[in-house]
Amino acid sequence: MVHFTLYSRSYCHLCDDMLEALQALSSEYPFTVETIDVDADETLVAQFDERVPVLFGRKNDESAVELCNYFLNEAKTREFLTNAR
């Protein structure tokens, strides 16, 4: 199973756009998505601040890998999902 973590902000239209584009793939691939507001944690603000949205993907128990930021890289995300099958 693939799990995505989207680091975002509540007032970020790019974050909303990335989540919407990612969810559009859910009819083709099984996955879960967790959205984390970076402003709720000073460590996350320091790590991601101006880079949000940032999307990480994790397959099963493997380490998470960064897939893209600002905009969904659909080709890279599809490749990640396909390789998880």
| pTM (two decimals) | 0.95
- pLDDT, residue 61, reads 85
Check which CATH number belongs to the domain holding 40 and give it.
Answer: 3.40.30.10
Residue 18's domain spans which residues?
2-83
The rounded distance, in Å, linking the Cα atoms of 84 and 30 is 10
Structure tokens at 10: 């509540």
* pLDDT cut 90: percent of the chain above it: 94
Centre a 10 Å sphere on the Cβ of residue 17 and count the other Cβ atoms it contains: 14
Give pLDDT tens digits for 17-56: 999 999 999 999 999 999 999 999 999 999 999 999 999 9
Q: Are strands 31-37 and 2-8 parallel, antiparallel or unpaired?
A: parallel
Structurally, the chain folds into a number of domains equal to 1
pLDDT score, position 32 = 97
